[in-house]
Amino acid sequence: MNTSRRSMLKGAAVLAGVSVLTRSKARAAEGGDFYVAKNGRINQSVVTWNFRPLTVQELAKWSAKFGVKSVELVGPEHWPMLKELGLSCAIAGSHGFAKGFAQPEQHAECLKVLEERISQCAAHGVPSVITFSGFRKGLSDEQGFKNMVAGLKKIAPLAEQKKVTVALEMLNSKVNVEMKGHPDYFCDNMDVSIDILKAVGSERVKVLFDIYHVQIMHGDVIARLRKYAPWIAHYHTAGNPGRNEIDGTQEINYAPIMRAIVETKYTGYVGQEFIPLRDKVSSLNEAVRLCDV
């Protein structure tokens, strides 16, 4: 047998083994052989886009089984279904990361979306809504900063009135792979993002602290989340490099990070936003176990 033929058969055997393993894991989960969050110190949530092709309802059902408390960044059409399953929506989606408050000509559109979503959140008990800076497009740091503050100050009074927190997400601008990084994104620095929030000066305008993005742009995740705890509205997870599972195959040590979050007296949610390379249901369950400190 030639070398290429032998290599091909070996590769096929490995793939078959992986397939059997993932199917067996899924069957085990179906049968009840899975971890259920029990400690209650971290309120876990799940983002949906990264678990496709699972539907929102399918993901919600698994989340409820695993002791997850929220399925997030879904629209109001899904909120009644979540409630029926004993789940909440920790944070609502809005205008998407391609637009935001760094560009003045995008303010009106973003404000319109946020105003509608804040009112919907207030009516349904959803505590937060996400927002973004959008892209730099040649803006200087100084001008982009001023634009961000001006735009967020416009939405702050409604957020305060409705008691809904607007969470500005910092994203990494280093990784040039779709949905793993966002080159030219304006708010790619956590320290600057916090300075923007301080300039806005509203208790209802805070930051979404995405651990994956912070690790790529800065490192020092625990030091930063401790330093900026009063301004953090929400957390996201993912492994680095790759934005995949948060287990021992990547560099971020999530168990101590979760314990540090608990130590800051944080009472919000931690959303699982990694892109599974393996069986989606099993990978989610493993992440739930890891974060249940």
The first and second tokens of residue 71, run together, are 């399925």
Terminal-to-terminal C-alpha distance of the chain: 52
Do 99 and 64 lie in one domain? The reply is: yes
Domain CATH code at residue 271: 3.20.20.150
Q: Would you call the peptide bond into 53 cis, given omega within 30 degrees of 0 as the criterion?
A: yes
pLDDT for residue 30: 59
pLDDT (tens, 9 = 90+) of the chain, 293 residues, equals 444 444 444 444 444 444 444 444 454 455 568 999 999 999 999 999 999 999 999 999 999 999 999 999 999 999 999 999 999 999 999 999 999 999 999 999 999 999 999 999 999 999 999 999 999 999 999 999 999 999 999 999 999 999 999 999 999 999 999 999 999 999 999 999 999 999 999 999 999 999 999 999 999 999 999 999 999 999 999 999 999 999 999 999 999 999 999 999 999 999 999 999 999 999 999 999 999 99
Do 255 and 197 lie in one domain? The reply is: yes
Q: State the residue range of the domain holding 249.
A: 34-291
Do 78 and 7 lie in one domain? The reply is: no
Cα→Cα distances 47→51, 67, 84, 92, 207, Å: 8, 15, 18, 10, 17
Do 11 and 135 lie in one domain? The reply is: no
Do 29 and 43 lie in one domain? The reply is: no
Nearest to 191 by CA among 167, 173, 214, 165: 214
Residues 48-58 as b/e (b if ≥16 CB within 10 A, e otherwise) read bebbeebebee
Element (H, E) at 169: strand 165-169
| Distance in angstroms (rounded) separating the CA atoms of residues 284 and 278 | 10
pLDDT for residue 29: 53
For residue 260, count other CB atoms closer than 10 A to its CB: 17
Question: Coil, strand, or helix at residue 167?
Answer: strand
What is the DSSP secondary structure assignment for residue 12, as one 8-state letter?
A: H
Question: Coil, strand, or helix at residue 83?
Answer: helix
Q: What are the two backbone dihedrals, phi and then psi, of residue 239, each rounded to the nearest 5 degrees?
A: -85, 155
For the chain, the residue count is 293
Do 28 and 59 lie in one domain? The reply is: no
Q: What are the two backbone dihedrals, phi and then psi, of residue 71, each rounded to the nearest 5 degrees?
A: -120, 125
SS (H, E, C) 44-79: EEEECHHHCCCCHHHHHHHHHHHCCCEEECCCHHHH
pLDDT for residue 154: 99
Do 25 and 101 lie in one domain? The reply is: no
| Distance in angstroms (rounded) separating the CA atoms of residues 24 and 32 | 12
Do 112 and 221 lie in one domain? The reply is: yes
pLDDT for residue 12: 45
What is the DSSP secondary structure assignment for residue 279, as one 8-state letter?
A: -
Number of domains in the chain: 2
Cα→Cα distances 125→44, 89, 95, 271, 282, Å: 17, 9, 20, 18, 30
Tell me the whole-structure pTM to 2 decimals: 0.89
Do 71 and 11 lie in one domain? The reply is: no
Do 24 and 49 lie in one domain? The reply is: no
Do 80 and 148 lie in one domain? The reply is: yes
Q: Are 15 and 268 in contact (CB under 8 A)?
A: no
Q: What is the DSSP string of 172-241?
A: -SS--STTT--TTBS---HHHHHHHHHHHT-TTEEEEEEHHHHHHHT--HHHHHHHTGGGEEEEEE--TT
Do 22 and 50 lie in one domain? The reply is: no
For residue 23, count other CB atoms closer than 10 A to its CB: 11
